[in-house]
Amino acid sequence: QVQLVESGGGLVQAGGSLRVSCIASGRTRSGYAVGWFRQAPGKEREFVAAISWDGANTYYAESAKVRFTMTRDNAKNTVILQMNSLKPEDTAVYYCAADFRGPGTWSRDYDYWGQGTQVTVSS
């Protein structure tokens, strides 16, 4: 099993930047892909970005391309989502998720989830 803890959320003005982190523990010796998802009030959880176990491949939702960058440091069991040029519509709880099968863009592709971190972008 893999345990995930997100951090780094907060309140930022539109146009600003935030970096959210996800630290993994447990069965971290095996390669696992990581995805970031977000859920705004009253909306479905949606895919934001994903990264392969070795960091060689990344995938982004259209809304995240150009503005967001996902990286990982396996030595520190840490995955980072750098978010720039934030917009009010980016406001949501951001979740990281992990799976040993490979990066996916659907919630069902991931078996392990963190508790989420709130990101609020004011206009």
pLDDT of 27 reads: 86
pLDDT 10s digits, 1-60: 899 999 999 999 999 999 999 999 998 877 899 999 999 999 999 999 999 999 999 999
| CB hemisphere CA count around 7 (13 angstroms) | 4
pLDDT 10s digits, 61-96: 999 999 999 999 999 999 999 999 999 999 999 999
pLDDT of 81 reads: 98
Taking alpha carbons only, the member of 52, 49, 93 closest to residue 68 is 49
Kindly write down the DSSP assignment for every residue of 8-23, as one continuous string: --EEEETT--EEEEEE
Residue 35 to residue 81: CA distance in whole angstroms: 10
